[in-house]
A and B are shown apart, each in its own frame.
Chain A
Amino acid sequence: MIDVWINGAAMMQTGRHYSLNIDEMGAKVLEEALKDAGYPDLDAIFVASATAEQADKQQMLGAYIAARLGLDKVATFRVENADGSGGSALVLAASAVRSGLYNCVAVVGVDKPNDVLSNQQQDIYSTATDSVYERFFGVTPAAQAAIMAKLYLKKYEYKYEDLALWPVLMHKNGASNPYAYMRKQAKVEDVLDSELVSDPLRLYDVGPMADGAAAAVLCNRKGAVRILGMGSATSSTPFNARQDYDVLYSAKEAAERAYKMAGITARDVAAAEVHDSYSIFGVLAAEALGLAQRGQLLALLKSGADLNVNLSGGLKSRGNVMGATGVYQAVEVAWQLLGKSPFKKADGNIGVIHSMGGADKISTVVVLGL
């Protein structure tokens, strides 16, 4: 098999980019990533986006991103798996290189949820639920996360104050990340005083929707960081029919596959970025990746353990950049392994990303190594 390397990467600060169109944002980070990679001949672009059609009325985004840079004749593909699009696009892009079809491809993750109002963001996000049986009745991923949080806290006898430790840690991490949306520290009291979104989840439990774009150039030519393993899985049981609400099945399966392919265990992981669109998902994702025993992550946080999870600030602080999230995570983990600014060097050579769509519908885990 052919080894796949990250040759170049770029991301832009997340937030409200009112002055840029979605294709321009994609083109901006793609150009930077290509420059970082030394301008290789690009065979294909894989675009990850969750909201392009609904927020920006654009299909075939890859072709328009290519047009902004004069990348004539390049192959373009679009990958949509809701807020898990980024991880899915990474797997497809890396597979295309690994198979020998292409020598050099780019993954571009881009979304602009702030082009619409907050209730319209909920309209869009709710299409990640079952449109007929959930969205129709007003269900959103937030409501599903809330029910899972309630059942998790109950089962493992935690208080809400314990869950509040997650957003506090995320804000601490994100405060020093210049690419992040919410760059300020938060105290447990700030979390407890914030408004309820879907009980028990409060504003601080919810990753704020942010515009963002990130890109990575993957080639068969040796680069700084290699893709060691990849795993993707769905959890097809409908939310209402789940046996357990305290585990992310898709993440667990994806992690097992990716770790096996990379030949690593959870103990080897020195840096991790997980999909904490809601604080409870961050907790469950970290457990699914084996960074804590089932039901024990909050106990670890309470004991003051040092967790190398979401040094970017996660979706809570960096922002929920929807379909672009997985690509951000890949850039963040690569830079953490390399010790590239703004991140300090990870204490090890192995990093993982966990990208998820909806409430445990699909997950992708990618293992990166030096």
Chain B
Amino acid sequence: MEHESVPLYWRNIPAYYRLVARRCKRCGEVYFPPVLKCPRCGSNELEDVELPQEGELVEFTVLRSVPTDFLKQKPVILGLVKLGPAKVLGQIVDAAPEKLKEGQRVEVAFRRVVVDGKYGLVMYGYKFRPRP
């Protein structure tokens, strides 16, 4: 959508650039998106932790009916990826859908996600690509 909020993007850069999740210090569960209180054990003691850069593809779909910002990229492959202790939903790039399969090794790729019109921000974030 045009005119995305600048502060909204900037404050989420740790997650977008480095996949910063949150780990419960008491029970060890890892949450992405980060939580403020551990849903499993109720602890308020949590710490930031970066998810690993490699993982495996759990499931994916090829989305052909896309929001305005993604019209130039369509179709978009969206996949569930298991990155160590957490799963993440994100775009799969540099891949032919017919060659993708469940359990496939993938790695984080730092990419441009949205170009907000002529005068807005160019926003970056994580995507995933098959491991060579």
Residues of A that sit less than 8 Å from B by CB: 118-120, 122-123, 126, 130, 132-140, 142-144, 146-147, 150-151, 195-201, 206, 236-241, 245
Residues of B within 8 A of A134 (CB): 89
With A136-B113, A147-B60, A147-B61 known as contacts, the answer to whether A123 contacts B88 (CB < 8 A) is no
Given contacts A150-B61, A198-B64, 10 further A-B contacts (CB under 8 A): A122-B65, A133-B32, A138-B69, A138-B73, A138-B78, A140-B65, A198-B61, A199-B61, A236-B39, A245-B59
B71 shortest CB reach to chain A, Å = 6
What is the bound-complex CA distance between A123 and B8, given in angstroms? 17
Query: What 6 pairs between A and B have smallest CB-CB spacing?
Result: A146-B61, A240-B89, A138-B70, A122-B67, A198-B63, A143-B63
A151 x B59 contact (CB < 8 A): yes
What is the bound-complex CA distance between A123 and B60, given in angstroms? 21
With A133-B33, A137-B90, A137-B91 known as contacts, the answer to whether A119 contacts B80 (CB < 8 A) is no
Residues of A within 8 A of B76 (CB): 138
B89 x A138 contact (CB < 8 A): no
B43 at the interface (CB under 8 A from A): no
B129 at the interface (CB under 8 A from A): no
Residues of B within 8 A of A237 (CB): 39
What is the bound-complex CA distance between A352 and B90, given in angstroms? 36
B88 x A132 contact (CB < 8 A): no
A133 x B68 contact (CB < 8 A): no
Residues of A within 8 A of B67 (CB): 119, 122-123, 126, 135, 138, 140
B88 x A240 contact (CB < 8 A): yes
What is the bound-complex CA distance between A30 and B28, given in angstroms? 53
Residue interface mask B23-57, A partner, CB < 8 A = 1: 00000000111000001000000000000000000
Residues of A within 8 A of B16 (CB): 136
B79 shortest CB reach to chain A, Å = 8
A272 shortest CB reach to chain B, Å = 28
What is the bound-complex CA distance between A264 and B111, given in angstroms? 53
A119 x B68 contact (CB < 8 A): yes
Tell me which of B32, B61, B68, B125 contacts A240 (CB under 8 A): B32
Residues of A within 8 A of B69 (CB): 123, 138
What is the bound-complex CA distance between A214 and B59, given in angstroms? 38
Tell me which of A130, A137, A138, A150 contacts B33 (CB under 8 A): A130
What is the bound-complex CA distance between A151 and B15, given in angstroms? 27
B33 x A147 contact (CB < 8 A): no
Residues of B within 8 A of A142 (CB): 63, 65
B104 at the interface (CB under 8 A from A): no
Residues of B within 8 A of A199 (CB): 61-62, 97
A135 and chain B: residue at smallest CB distance: B67
A38 shortest CB reach to chain B, Å = 45
B114 at the interface (CB under 8 A from A): yes
What is the bound-complex CA distance between A132 and B5, given in angstroms? 11
A146 and chain B: residue at smallest CB distance: B61
A238 and chain B: residue at smallest CB distance: B33
B64 x A196 contact (CB < 8 A): yes
Residues of B within 8 A of A206 (CB): 65
Tell me which of A136, A147, A200 contacts B114 (CB under 8 A): A136
What is the bound-complex CA distance between A238 and B62, given in angstroms? 20
A367 shortest CB reach to chain B, Å = 30
Residues of B within 8 A of A201 (CB): 61
B63 x A195 contact (CB < 8 A): no
A201 and chain B: residue at smallest CB distance: B61
B64 x A197 contact (CB < 8 A): yes
What is the bound-complex CA distance between A120 and B78, given in angstroms? 19
Residues of A within 8 A of B91 (CB): 137-138
Residue interface mask B113-124, A partner, CB < 8 A = 1: 110000000010
What is the bound-complex CA distance between A236 and B37, given in angstroms? 13
B33 x A198 contact (CB < 8 A): no
Q: Which of B8, B66, B67 counts the most chain A CB atoms within 10 A?
A: B67
With A132-B12, A147-B60, A241-B86 known as contacts, the answer to whether A122 contacts B66 (CB < 8 A) is yes
16 A-B pairs (CB sep. < 8 Å): A118-B65, A119-B68, A122-B68, A132-B12, A136-B12, A140-B63, A140-B66, A140-B67, A143-B78, A144-B89, A147-B59, A195-B64, A237-B39, A240-B89, A241-B32, A241-B87
Tell me which of A120, A151, A236, A239 contacts B89 (CB under 8 A): A239
Residue interface mask B1-20, A partner, CB < 8 A = 1: 10000001000100110000
